[in-house]
Amino acid sequence: MTVFGKASIAQLEKAGAFENLKIIPDKAEIVPEEKKSFWRENFSVLISLMLIIVGYSFQFNYGEESLQAIVSFLGAILIGGYSLFKSGLKNLIRLDFDMRALMTIAIIGAAIIGEWSEGAIVVILFAISEVLERYSMDKARASIRSLMDIAPKEALIRRNGQEFMVSVNEIEVGDIMVVKPGQKLAMDGEVISGFSSVNQAAITGESVPADKHPGDEVFAGTLNGEGLIEVKITKLVDDTTIAKIIHLVEEAQAEKAPSQAFVDRFAKYYTPVIILVAALVAVLPPLLFGADWSEWVYQGLAVLVVGCPCALVISTPVSIVTAIGNAAKNGVLVKGGVHLEEMGMLKAVAFDKTGTLTKGIPAVTDYKVLSSQDPKELLSVIAALEDKSQHPLAASIVRKAESDKINYKEMIIEGFSSVTGKGIKGTVEGMNYYIGSPKYLETVLSGGIPSEVRTEISALQSSGKTVMAVGNEVELLALISVADEVRETSKAVISRLHELGIEKTIMLTGDNSGTAHAIGKQAGVSDIESELLPADKLAFIKTLQKNHGKVAMVGDGINDAPALAAATVGVAMGGAGTDTALETADIALMADDLQKLPFTIKLSRKTLTIIKQNITFAIGVKLLALLLVIPGWLTLWIAIFADMGATLIVTLNGLRLLKVKDK
């Protein structure tokens, strides 16, 4: 057995059992836990629910006081509430009046007055909340594991003229890592040989793959493109950028403790006061004034019954469960009531750019022919050449040709070649064509690019577009601009958020300032922050929280994970989002539909309003009923009516959340 200091792993896990903690030795391989089936995991909850249904069936057929109904409800209470009673009774003994103690009192009170069905309903509501809590904790652990799997566990290293696979834990600073086309980088380093375009959206959030030449920095977890590169290792595995992101996520999750619910705080005072008042009502009049013991014990029992906090206990969960169910039907996954409540208190919303405000897929935005050639014929030549290229931007031109129904596949290309870091060239029907960066075409054209065209290129680039030039040795034939397009719904969503009273909408991106401001202006956000790494996004979110309080972060990438975890509410774009962003976030928009964001805020605010109404009503009814003790008018029947009536009303009020529409 592995031992840490004087404590074994088993002992450490036992100490952390209350928080469901698991101990994993540093750098040890994580073995996936055995996945239990849904039925096995929630067996007691399902049995309890079945017994409640059976109990109501007996009640309907044989009456409320039938033995069969009572036994069924009692079975549901004992099976579904075992863990609740176990901790609730311990807390009562320690005089720690938390939510579990409060609910234990509620169920005992229901049993005393013979309201077995009410006690069973309280138990099942609590059991369902425990299932949701366990699910959230499992997902939180899984998010860290998925982060750890982003970078490969071994790499091809060259030492002393020989190449062999080495575990990342054994790689040293100064080693040479050989990265083939299509492989992920296992370590951070500096390119010393070769050229390639590297998709590093996972780290920087850049929408377009970055060209890497000798001397450029590369990151673990990024994806190499079409070229073979050799990388000199500059950091050990624990110091890589991806390792730092993992650390940032862990820190952010540790900092974000759920705010203690009002009912929990209230219960610490409410429950002992009710118990004390009930005892005093039962004992003081007979002792001090010689009153009838049976009459005042009855009054004390009535106080205990009316004080039974069933309506108060149900007031919040019934609203939360209803709202979460409504959200799910509308394509929004909410991972807990705390997150739903906090959505309604937001003052600022930060957005990642790529894949969130934009589509995340480069597309042709401009195609301008500068020669006398037919635009469709020229596009067919360009698409045929780009179809042979492996550059990520080539696919956007091919998609453009296909959407315009241009036939390019039958075009015969001769002498095709890729010019490293510059572009491509090939011959079609005896004419040479060159496609690539404007700098590349400057070297090809005999007279260079005309000044008026250079001005046009600069204007396109300053608006955040990547420009490709097409030409031959004699003339410039066309300009093609490619950019990550803004989602059609982004501007309307930002406008709606401002209408809802959100003070700030901020776009955070790893892209350059020109691209960022062009996209931000189209989307209509109030603020733009560019050239940010994950640590910068995290720092900005923390600053935003200091200035505005409740802040949401909406993102989809691994690079957004620390910011998603640190924000008051992290919102992931579900379909396009990485597993890490999805698991780290508190709310997921399952259909990648940003329009669900204003709906979720609207639903949250309505939920908060109904919760406040329910709590106020539940406490108000109790106080009114307790006032009847003074003239001695409080009877067990009034107590039962007040308790059951309040419970029914707060439940029906909570169900109004089903009517909140996605409009």
Which tokens sit at 391?
A: 């550059």
> What DSSP letter does each residue of 478-496 carry, written as one string?
EEEEEEEEEPTTHHHHHHH
Please identify which residue in the block is written with the tokens 């049976």. Answer: 294
Residue 245 neighbours by CB under 8 Å, 6+ apart: 147, 203, 534, 558, 559, 561, 562
DSSP 353: I
- The number of helix segments (H) and strand segments (E) in the chain equals 24, 24
DSSP 248: H
Pairing of strands 466-471, 210-212: unpaired
CA distance linking residue 242 with residue 150, whole number of Å: 8
Closest listed residue to residue 143, CA positions, set 253, 17, 9: 253
Closest listed residue to residue 596, CA positions, set 323, 319, 327, 322: 327
> What DSSP letter does each residue of 593-650 carry, written as one string?
-TTHHHHHHHHHHHHHHHHHHHHHHHHHHHHHHHHTTTTT---HHHHHHHHHHHHHHH
In angstroms, how far is CA 208 from the centroid of its own chain? 24
CA distance linking residue 369 with residue 379, whole number of Å: 9
- What amino acid positions are annotated as catalytic residues? 352
Please identify which residue in the block is written with the tokens 């007040």. Answer: 642
